């Protein structure tokens, strides 16, 4: 089922230093003080195609949550990739991150969103920009999900970005931690982190998923081996929890999957539609991520 016609434009959301645009989806099931999910499309995608493949608006109808889809424009990047690897677009208070922050603020105000229940996710370049937003604006987000992405500030030039995508080089664990801590003056409760990656990804090597986990482990105080490993829809889920059992980081490495978002389109709880970068593997990352964030309606 296509949702191209359901997304509406977001106007007048701020100074927009990153020259982005955006779409929103506010379902009829949404209620005052509801949650907001920000969804960042991947390279060569649009909000419409990402929404169609992932099924976020379908789940929004079911769970009663608002959606925000920032849109990259060709004048910024010929492939419509978010510029996560550029210095001006990878820090607080500037470029594309500030544009996205302004969008979030506008939607929160316009639709009476609960500011303590704002979440962000993204695929590929959108996943890498999700990492930027979580580091640069940790006070804004309760949780984030990075799909086929890279750690925050792992590259600051296009050449570095290509090298890191292939899994070569990269900052030490100590440096990864310092990069996030240095991105803001935040001293509160950090966002929870969900990490998804295809084991056979030839575009963004799966070693980047491991680096993302390591980047957030010390910050969350959950260093070392996972608290537990469990099976979810036939795939291993690694979980790091605090002493009270609160899940802070989870990681899915999807065996045999290439570059894209894992979906399960069929069945009673199916979401989305198989297509380019939307890979039918029998598990819905969209539904699981929303449940990890506690968005399921009872």
124 belongs to the catalytic site: yes
CB atoms within 10 A of CB 131: 29
CA–CA separation, 128 and 155 (whole Å):
10
Region of 14 (left: φ > 0; alpha: ψ -120 to 50; beta: rest) is left
Q: Which residues contact 181 (CB under 8 A, 6 or more apart)?
A: 219
Cα(297)–Cα(14) distance, rounded to whole angstroms? Answer: 32
Neighbouring residues of 25: CB distance < 8 A, sequence distance ≥ 6: 3, 6, 7, 8, 51, 56, 57, 60, 66, 67, 69
236: its two tokens:
């291993």
Q: Which single residue is written with the structure tokens 């677009």?
A: 89
Would you tell me the crossing angle of helices 95-110 and 125-136 to the nearest 10 degrees?
A: 80
- H or E element at residue 128: helix 125-136
User: From the candidates 124, 125, 206, 211, which is the catalytic residue?
Assistant: 124
What is the spatial distance between Cα 110 and Cα 107, in angstroms, rounded to a whole number?
Answer: 5
Positions marked active-site:
124
């Amino acid at each position: 089922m296509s949702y191209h016609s359901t997304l509406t434009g977001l106007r007048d959301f701020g100074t927009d230093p990153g020259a982005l645009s955006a779409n929103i989806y506010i379902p009829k099931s949404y209620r005052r003080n509801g949650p907001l999910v920000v969804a960042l499309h991947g390279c060569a995608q649009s909000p419409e195609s990402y929404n169609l493949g992932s099924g976020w608006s379908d789940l929004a109808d079911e769970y009663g949550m608002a959606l925000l889809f920032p849109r990259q424009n060709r004048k910024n990047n010929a492939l419509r990739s978010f510029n996560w690897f550029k210095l001006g677009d990878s820090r607080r208070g500037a470029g594309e991150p500030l544009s996205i922050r302004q969008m979030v603020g506008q939607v929160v105000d316009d639709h009476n969103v609960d500011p303590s229940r704002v979440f962000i996710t993204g695929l590929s370049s959108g996943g890498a920009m999700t990492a930027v937003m979580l580091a640069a604006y940790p006070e804004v987000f309760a949780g984030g999900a990075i799909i086929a992405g890279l750690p925050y500030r792992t590259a600051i030039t296009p050449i570095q970005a290509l090298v890191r995508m292939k899994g070569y080089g990269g900052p030490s664990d100590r440096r990864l931690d310092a990069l996030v801590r240095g991105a803001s003056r935040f001293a509160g409760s950090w966002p929870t982190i969900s990490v998804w990656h295809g084991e056979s990804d030839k575009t963004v090597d799966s070693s980047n998923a491991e680096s993302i986990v390591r980047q957030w482990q010390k910050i969350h105080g959950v260093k070392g081996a996972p608290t537990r490993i469990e099976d979810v829809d036939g795939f291993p889920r690694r979980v790091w929890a605090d002493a009270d059992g609160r899940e802070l980081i989870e990681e899915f490495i999807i065996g045999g999957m290439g570059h894209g978002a894992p979906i399960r389109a069929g069945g009673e709880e199916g979401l989305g539609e198989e297509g380019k970068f939307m890979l039918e593997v029998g598990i819905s990352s969209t539904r699981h991520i929303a449940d990890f964030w506690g968005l399921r309606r009872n």
